[in-house]
Amino acid sequence: MAEILILAEHAGETVKKVTCELLTAARRFGEPAVVWTGPGAQAAQGSLAEFGAEKIYAADGPEFDDYVVAPKAELLAELAKQHSPAAVLVAGTAEGREVGARLAVKTGWGLLTDVIGFGDELTAEQVNFGGAINVRSRVRSGTPIIAVRPNAITPEAAAGPAVIEPVSFAVSDAAKQARVVERVVQERSARPELTEASIVVSGGRGVGSGENMALIEKLADSLGAAVGASRAVTDAGWYPHQFQVGQTGKTVSPQLYVAVGISGAIQHRAGMQTSKTIMVVNKDREAPIFELADFGVVGDLFKVVPQLVEEIAKRVG
């Protein structure tokens, strides 16, 4: 069985959830072989084994942290040349997509982005035009390079040996053009990261003010969810831009997306419509967001949300 190369996304030694999702997807099509860049492969071995990694190609040189994405693309190209994988999977994150695009340019292979699922023989389900159209696509030239959206695939454990194979790789000068000069650790709340959360609660203009976003936070906290916002909210300065969901914000695909006081403009939908279950609270029954809703409440959010929080609190404990 051919290998499927997977570029691991990780924060230090911690394997990001999307890597487990890629492993789960890869197992259907071949032997998952993780490409690990920088130090930490040893510490991550257990987590990668839990999700079925057959091998870990560990390239622990400092270049992968010191320079922006080019060394990773170069390494992937080299490993692909050596091992002739059936496909290369990257996370559909800003970094993963850029590495995938660079690899496609280097190899001349086809690249699919915004993939949210797979059919037989590496046919990919792909979201296009800001979510307006879903298509089934297949790479016809070379080895498929596929960028899979975080949260699109449910990670399923399946034990694998995760044998570490150290890789010594000399990064070229050409790949060292853009150096990382400083890293600033973003202040994090206790809430899950927006693009990785399995539940997201987002507030829209209907919330009425920045102070009222506390209501959205309260609902999010009762569900262990991340907080998101529409652009109307972030543009008004009611919530920081990094929490904007949509075409010009973050793309989320959680198990549950709760849209509160959001009308459902196409640009907002582009960032959330692949969520597995969508719940809506809106006082206007004609709001377009109801077209997407699995469960909708027509009502005033200032009445509905506190009741929801109360009900959740009762059930939780």
Ligand X SMILES: Cc1cc2nc3c(=O)[nH]c(=O)nc-3n(C[C@H](O)[C@H](O)[C@H](O)COP(=O)(O)OP(=O)(O)OC[C@H]3O[C@@H](n4cnc5c(N)ncnc54)[C@H](O)[C@@H]3O)c2cc1C
Q: Scan residues 197-216 and list those touching ligand X (CB under 6 A).
A: 204-206
18 is an interface residue for ligand X by CB under 6 A: no
CA atoms of 226 and 257, how far apart (whole Å):
10
Residue 33 forms beta bridges with which residues? 5, 55
268 is an interface residue for ligand X by CB under 6 A: yes
Comparing CB distances to ligand X, the nearer of 146 and 220 is: 220
230 is an interface residue for ligand X by CB under 6 A: yes
Comparing CB distances to ligand X, the nearer of 47 and 244 is: 244
Range 97-131 burial, b when 16+ CB lie within 10 A, else e = bbbbbbbbeebebbbbbbbbbbeeebebbbbeebb
Among residues 207, 255, 206, 259, the alpha carbon closest in space to that of 228 is found at 259
DSSP state of 275: -
Piece of the chain touching ligand X by CB under 6 A; list 25-33, 74-82, 109-117, 263-271 = 263-271
232 is an interface residue for ligand X by CB under 6 A: yes
CA atoms of 56 and 49, how far apart (whole Å):
9
249 is an interface residue for ligand X by CB under 6 A: yes
CB of 1 to ligand X, least distance (A): 41
Comparing CB distances to ligand X, the nearer of 98 and 302 is: 302
Q: Alpha helix locations (H) across the chain?
A: 17-26, 41-50, 63-66, 70-83, 94-107, 213-223, 231-235, 266-269, 301-316
Comparing CB distances to ligand X, the nearer of 107 and 263 is: 263
Measured from the Cβ of residue 40, the count of other Cβ atoms closer than 10 Å reads 18
Comparing CB distances to ligand X, the nearer of 58 and 279 is: 279
Q: Are 250 and 228 in contact (CB under 8 A)?
A: yes
Among residues 151, 244, 251, 275, the one that binds ligand X under rule CB under 6 A: 244
Comparing CB distances to ligand X, the nearer of 144 and 249 is: 249
38 is an interface residue for ligand X by CB under 6 A: no
Measured from the Cβ of residue 302, the count of other Cβ atoms closer than 10 Å reads 14
- Judged by the rule CB under 6 A, the positions of this chain that interact with ligand X are 204-206, 230-233, 244-249, 261-263, 265, 267-268, 271, 281-284, 287, 300-302
